Chains A and B, each alone.
Chain A
Amino acid sequence: MDEEEKERWKKNIKIAHEIAKDKERKERLIKKAYEIGGKYVTTYWGCAQSTFLAIVDTLRTEGIEILTKEDEEKMFPAFVGLAGGTGNIGVGSCGGLVGSGFCVSLVANRSQGVDQKVQESNINHRWISFDAVYKYPVKRYLEKYNGLSCRAVTWARFGKHWDSWNPSAKEEFGREERERGCILDTAGYPCTIPRAAAWAVEDIIELLVKPITLEQVVEEHDLR
């Protein structure tokens, strides 16, 4: 990790502390995540890439830059294929979880200077991001949707699941989403993408203020 990035993380942590103390600013940021997430639903039409972008771009509106604009663009193509439960097959993790889990993991690691070299020097570091992803997006999904998969999410939201590779089922899914307002009324009826983005933005602020440390994970997971 270069010096420029280390400096950026110091700045991110400082801003996160300010936001954590300012209820209004925090609420504004979460609201922004719903707005941007909602907008990206109809821009990119894929949960993994839209959630990823919504989180990074929302945090940037308050000066927290977890990735530069250039890096964000370079990484974007990696997320597209993870949408809809991986390759749109429904059975894997919801793309919203992949996008938010990725951002939470990135922040948990890099805000504490953990990169590949650091992980190689002490493999226990991996538990920092495992715990962050479990504590935040995984628990949120389990509580709200009773599962992590695309199928679990649609089951919880609609009481139904559609195979997106089946054209008539995909059409029906699109129709139901639209009728419920997920696409046209993203503020009134937030669908999974803006919700996952808003959760992650809130959680990332907390994570920057109260990081999960190596000492904590060593103790908790009996890694000595």
Chain B
Amino acid sequence: MAEKKLETPKKLSMDWGIELPPKKRAIIKARELGTGYQGTIIGCSHCTFLAAVNALESEGIKLISEDIKDKLFTGLMGLTGGAGNSAIGTCGAVNGASFVISLATNVTMEENKKDIDSRWLAYYNVKHYITDRFMKKWGAITCREIQIKNFGRAYDSRRPERSKELFQIAAEKGCRNPYECTIGTAAGWAVEGVWEILNQTPEEREKLKEEIMRHQASDRKYH
């Protein structure tokens, strides 16, 4: 079903010369890049991050410099496959996508220090745009549980024979396409989230924070 949703606007665009809205174009681009990177760079965390950031750049949105991008890329690599490819922790695609959402939310050191409520904006955005969607689609955000949902089995990729089995079952299932791939999906969600976050006015951002804090007021009690 998801395939049709993406295929149709792209086909219309190509066949009939209909201009796609830039947000839609960026989401499709992120899905395609994420899926492609898994074949060339390999690793859910850094591939998701790179796909989202590069897709945004293709529409003129530059979140970070090339140098910072490269450094974040190398730091994220080790968080692949549930951290160190252990499968136990958070799925790397969730990490990569959440990093991008959090970057766009832009709670700086200064803001975080001056106003501790501000950190809830990043929590909210990551939850709203990434983890809630993972929970809905996969019922989990951890690597092992997502594998179970995707393949009916999970593999310890630290064992060479199991790692090969995982790649094999993914190939057999044919999920490395922009409509099913976990990396591509997460990158697309990150782009969608960033687009909406960057379109907020400062007043809307402040209002959102106030709404979150109205609910989370108890957080201040022990700080």
By a beta-carbon cutoff of 8 Å, the part of chain A in contact with chain B is 1, 42-46, 49, 53, 67, 71, 73-89, 91-93, 97-98, 101-106, 108-110, 114-116, 119-120, 123, 126-127, 129-135, 137-138, 142, 147-149, 165, 167-168, 170-171, 174-175, 177-178, 183, 221-223
B217 in contact with A106 (CB, 8 Å): no
Binds A, one of B5-13, B67-75, B198-206: B67-75
| Apart from the given pairs A75-B71, A80-B112, 17 other A-B contacts in the complex at a CB distance below 8 Å | A44-B109, A74-B64, A78-B99, A82-B98, A86-B131, A91-B141, A93-B95, A105-B74, A116-B70, A129-B77, A130-B77, A148-B88, A149-B142, A171-B218, A175-B221, A183-B222, A221-B163
Alpha-carbon distance A75/B64, docked complex (angstroms): 9
Residues of B within 8 A of A171 (CB): 218-219, 221-222
Question: In this assembly, does B34 line the interface, its C-beta being within 8 Å of a C-beta of chain A?
Answer: no
Interface membership of chain B positions 101-116, coded 1 if the CB is closer than 8 angstroms to chain A and 0 otherwise? 1110111110011001
Q: Give CA–CA (A23, B73) in the complex, Å.
A: 33
Contacts of B130 in A (CB 8 A): 86-87
- Given that A45-B119, A104-B78 are known contacts, is A73 also in contact with B160, CB under 8 Å in the complex? no
Complex CA distance for A148 and B68, rounded to whole angstroms: 27
Can you list 19 contacts pairing A with B, beta carbon distance less than 8 Å? Answer: A42-B223, A46-B112, A81-B101, A92-B89, A93-B79, A93-B89, A101-B84, A102-B78, A102-B79, A104-B78, A110-B74, A115-B70, A120-B40, A126-B41, A129-B77, A138-B84, A138-B88, A148-B90, A175-B222
Taking CB atoms, residues of chain A closer than 8 Å to B43 are 126, 130
* Distance in angstroms between the alpha carbons of A89 and B135 in the assembled complex: 11
Using a Cβ–Cβ cut-off of 8 Å, how many residues does chain B contribute to the interface with A?
A: 71
| B→A interface (CB under 8 Å) | 40-43, 46, 50, 64-65, 67-68, 70-86, 88-90, 94-95, 98-103, 105-109, 112-113, 116, 119-120, 122-128, 130-131, 140-142, 158, 160, 163, 215-219, 221-223
Lowest 10 CB-CB distances: which A-B pairs, in order?
A105-B78, A134-B84, A81-B102, A174-B222, A87-B127, A133-B84, A129-B78, A87-B126, A81-B122, A81-B126
| C-alpha spacing A42/B113, complex, angstroms | 9
Residue of B nearest to A148 (CB): B89
Q: From DSSP, what is the main secondary structure of chain A's interface residues? A: helix
Partner of B140, one of A81, A91, A109, A129: A91
Complex CA–CA separation, A53 to B109 (angstroms): 10
Specify which chain B residues have a CB less than 8 angstroms from the CB of A127 in the assembled complex: 85
Partner pick for A83 among B71, B123, B131, B216, CB 8 A cutoff:
B123
A101 to B90, CA, bound (A): 12
Residues in A whose Cβ lies below 8 Å from that of B95:
82, 86, 93, 98
- Give B124's nearest chain A residue, CB to CB: A87
Are B77's CB and A109's CB within 8 A?
yes
Cα distance A85–B91 in the bound complex, in angstroms: 11
Q: Contact at B131–A92, with CB atoms within 8 Å?
A: yes
Whether the pair B40, A170 counts as a contact (CB closer than 8 A) is no
